């Protein structure tokens, strides 16, 4: 095996890739921070620890999520059933729900397309929605 004739070419390509990856991950971090700050809400919180008294998770879910996920989480032509086993807490913890709503979801498990970020929900409202989803999941044995 002889050494590559122009080794500097390899290292230049390597450096470009490295810088490129740095720029891309930097942009992702900035986007995430901006989208979270833009909503004026904290990034990740524990929905179970939030006082949601006076809020009705079912009504909030119906207004913001049901047109794609179905009023009973059964899914629709626009989105997957949140009763699917992959959405159980061990596989999609509450943080995944918060991130889905705040940042959106790039289509990866299904072929419905991307989920857009859902605007105008406070942390308390989102907590009430997640509590509602977990209740229905539990009733359906998705836990």
Q: Where on the chain is the footprint of ligand HEC (CB under 6 A)?
A: 64-65, 67-69, 78-80, 92, 96-97, 100-101, 105, 107-110, 112-113, 115-116, 118, 129
| Smallest separation (angstroms) from ligand HEC to the CB of 91 | 9
HSE at residue 104, side-chain half, CA atoms within 13 A, is 11
Q: In the complex with ligand HEC, which residue's Cβ is closer, 101 or 142?
A: 101
Q: In the complex with ligand HEC, which residue's Cβ is closer, 17 or 114?
A: 114
Q: In the complex with ligand HEC, which residue's Cβ is closer, 5 or 108?
A: 108
Packing angle of the helix pair 7-38, 94-103 (nearest 10 deg): 90
| Smallest separation (angstroms) from ligand HEC to the CB of 9 | 40
d(CA 79, CA 141): 21
C-beta of residue 131 within 8 angstroms of C-beta of residue 52: yes
Among 67, 89, 91, CA closest to 136: 89
Q: In the complex with ligand HEC, which residue's Cβ is closer, 83 or 101?
A: 101
């Amino acid at each position: 095996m002889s050494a590559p004739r122009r080794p500097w070419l390899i290292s230049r390509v390597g450096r470009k890739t490295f810088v490129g990856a740095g720029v891309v991950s930097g942009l992702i971090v900035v986007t995430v921070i901006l989208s979270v700050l833009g909503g004026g809400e904290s990034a990740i919180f524990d929905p179970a620890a939030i006082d949601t008294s006076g809020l009705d998770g079912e009504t909030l879910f119906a207004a913001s999520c049901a047109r794609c996920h179905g009023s009973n989480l059964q899914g629709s032509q626009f989105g997957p059933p949140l009763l699917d086993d992959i959405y159980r807490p061990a596989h999609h913890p509450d943080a995944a729900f918060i991130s889905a709503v705040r940042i959106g979801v790039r289509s990866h498990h299904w072929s419905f397309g991307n989920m857009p970020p859902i605007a105008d929900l406070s942390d308390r409202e989102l907590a009430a929605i997640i509590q509602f989803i977990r209740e229905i999941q539990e009733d359906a044995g998705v836990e």
